[in-house]
Structure 1
Amino acid sequence: MKSLKTLHLIHAFYTNDESICNLLSGCPRLEELVVERTCEYSVKFFTIKVPSLQRFRIYDDNDEDEFVGYVIDTPSLKYLEIGYLGCPQFSLNALGLLAVYIARVSNVISESLVSVRRLVLNVSTSMTIYPPTGCIFYQLVYLQIYTPEPGWYDLLTWMLEHSPKLQVLKLVGKYRIKPDYHVLGWEWNKPKSVPECLLSHLETFVWRRYDWKREKEEEVATYLLKNARGLKNATFSTGPIEPGQLDKLKQRRRTRKKIGWCAQGF
């Protein structure tokens, strides 16, 4: 398949590790690869070595004990999307990455991530997504973080401290079926000093599904608005208030007044 540029492997069955390598080695011009896997016991290491590959999407909820992980060697890769990945090992060589989306991943540690310009994180905060110690996201200008559970505050702090050129920050709250659901007992570790990106680069701040009732979210919003000295645009959106919920409307107005006062300087 010397002319093939796009390949989608959706719940395919592989004889062994070598069968994957043989298949991909026969596609020397491959530019886009999609891999979706579920329960499959014949592969130990899923190796993807494609020098021409530019776009790669992988969704894997395989929980078989025999499967160890992925070895990805794609020096031309520009766009990477990873979801539902729970394997013990994940090796990535893709130093030219521009945009990455990571969702529900248990272990992605790679220096390749520090080259990205756009990064979307939709991960459990108990999982490890941080690059090795000392790595800085010098190229990152767009960051989007989903906030599905307690602990995302610390992930936000870590990313702000390690993304000195960040220009756009977007937070996306969790949609809750029970609107009165709250998580207690989690404290936010603020940055020890104001991150460089807030002092000189951040221009746009968006918070979708903002919860006006949660003090921790108000604390985060207040900190960002007070310290983002170059901020030009800030947008907060939330769910509608049903008729008869005047207490929520009053709470929202109080919070809006607080946040508005913090934002007067930008």
Structure 2
Amino acid sequence: MDIISGLPDELLVKILLLVPTKVAVSTSILSKRWEYLWMWLPKLDYGPRNCSECEKLRCFLDRNLPLHRAPVLESFRLDLCCSRFKPENINMWIGIAVSHCLRELEMMLYESDPAKPFVLPSNLYACKSLVVGGDILLDVPTMASLPSLNTMKLQSVRYFSDKTLPLLLSKCPLLEDLVVDLREDDTPRYLGVSVPSLQSLSLYIPYNNHIIDGFVLVTPALKYFKLMDYNEHYCLIENMPNLIEAYLDVDCPDIKDLIGSITSVKRLSICSKTMLDEGFVFNQLEHLEVCLCMEHSSNQLFRLLKASSNLKRLDISLMRGHVSQGMADWNQPTTVPECLLSSMQNLNWSSYTGEPQEREIVVYILKHAVHLKTATIKSSSELGVPRSEMLKELEISYRASAACQLMFE
């Protein structure tokens, strides 16, 4: 007998957890000792599979899943990309998983029959974590109850009605982490999220989604908020006094409610086609990241600096997938933002081209940031001016902080 086979079952199962489920199953042919060990795995991951393997996987799950021996399934993942997987098969597999005290379900279903969308079975309500996505119709029974659910991700699913999501959320008294990624079609006209316990919320509303009229958020305990929304509609958002981090990539005509609800945030990443109104105050903001893809970005930047008297770190960049439209003339502030005089310690500029507008902003910050410790400039792959000239202009510029280190990458 080899040394590994002589180890206790509990240890061998932990070893099998380190490899993909398919590989763990294949160890059953090694010897009698290994034949049924994989059936004790508390985590099962099936997929992705190509269509040529669909029938083989269906037969395998029908035959073996009912024999699974783990008393508790910590996670069950199904990534099914073929119409050969029938709803009755999937419902049976999920039911078996739930009977093993399932804690986390992750299910992605694609290429199903549009006329017969898959509906999640009603016996899911014991899960503590739920991730669903793809061609799945979300239809929540009124008697549903998810008392232990703390994480839910809904990725491009279809909704039975406008009331589906609010009803589902009302059944989750302990929900802490929610991701809603809407489709371009089959989305609710009204998006309502009212969850007192929620601590993390991510909303993605795709471009040209003309179905949704707007959304309402009531999440007083929220600590992390991510919103990607490129459409014109209303948004009503109650104050988030406990917010720590916010990521906003938005194209809303009026963002007063949005900005007014996040003024307690400590870290903010923002790209907005709408200019922020003056008068907002971010007293607790310590880390600001501003995207410079808009023509008004420079003036947006200084409005944010003016509103953030305790800012310590400033990142200037292009958000992922964004392309600079070239900054318009910026208006040099008549008064220096308080954060430059009292608190800012770090400046990081990514995709720096050395164009006049960008250079003027960097020079202005270096000239007035009294407590600046580092200024890191990462040059763009497409420089507007020669790199050597760009660096020389910044090196000879005046710095209010004698301790400031100017670094180029």
Contact 1:67/1:87, CA 8 A, preserved across alignment: no
Residue in 1 aligned with 2:243? 97
Unaligned runs of 5+ in 2: 1-145, 404-409
Q: Which residue of 1 aligns with 2:370?
A: 229
Question: Structure 1 residue 230: deviation in Å?
Answer: 1.2
- Aligned pair in 2 of structure 1 residues 264, 71: CA closer, same or farther (>3 Å)? closer
**What is the Cα deviation at residue 18 of structure 1?**
1.6
> Which residue does the alignment assign to 1:27?
172
TM-score by length of 2: 0.57
- Which structure ranks higher in relative contact order (CA pairs < 8 Å, sequence separation ≥ 6)? 1
The one-letter amino acid paired with 1:196 is E
* Greater C-alpha radius of gyration: 2
Q: Which of 84, 99, 104 matches 2:229?
A: 84
- Compute the RMSD of aligned alpha carbons: 2.8
Q: Does the CA-based 8 Å contact 1:143-1:168 persist in structure 2? A: yes
CA distance in 2, matches of 1:154, 1:9: 37
**Displacement of 1:60 after TM fit?**
0.8
Q: Distance in 1 between matches of 2:340 and 2:204?
A: 34
SS in 1 for 2:197: coil
CA–CA separation in structure 1 for the residues paired with 2:217 and 2:186: 20
Q: Is the 8 A contact 2:269 2:288 kept in 1?
A: yes
Name the amino acid aligned to 2:349.
Answer: W
Q: Deviations over 1:69-127 (max 9, x none)?
A: 11010111110011134141111122321110011432533322101000001333xx2
The alpha-carbon distance between structure 1 residues 190 and 58, as it changes in their structure 2 partners (threshold 3 A), is same
The structure 2 residue matched to 1:43, chosen from 188, 204, 218, is 188
Q: How many residues align?
A: 254
Question: 1:175 deviation in Å?
Answer: 9.1
The code of the aligned residue for 1:237 comes to K
Q: Aligned-pair distance for 1:253?
A: 4.0
**1:199 alignment partner, one of 341, 350, 356:** 341
Partner of 1:115: 264
C-alpha deviation, 1:66, in angstroms? 4.2
Q: Aligned-pair distance for 1:252?
A: 2.4
Q: 1:163: how far off? A: 0.6
Q: 1:38 touches 1:62 (CA, 8 Å); kept in 2?
A: no
Report SS of the residue matched to 1:100. strand
Query: Which residue identity lines up with residue 161 of structure 1 in the other structure?
Result: K
Amino acid at match of 1:222: V
Partner of 1:265: helix, strand, or coil? Answer: coil
In structure 1, distance between residues paired with 2:263 and 2:325: 34
**The residue matched to 2:379 in structure 1 has which SS?**
coil
2:304 match: secondary structure: helix
- Identity, % of aligned positions: 27
**So what's the TM-score if we normalise by structure 1?**
0.85
Equivalent position to 2:360, from 214, 219, 225? 219
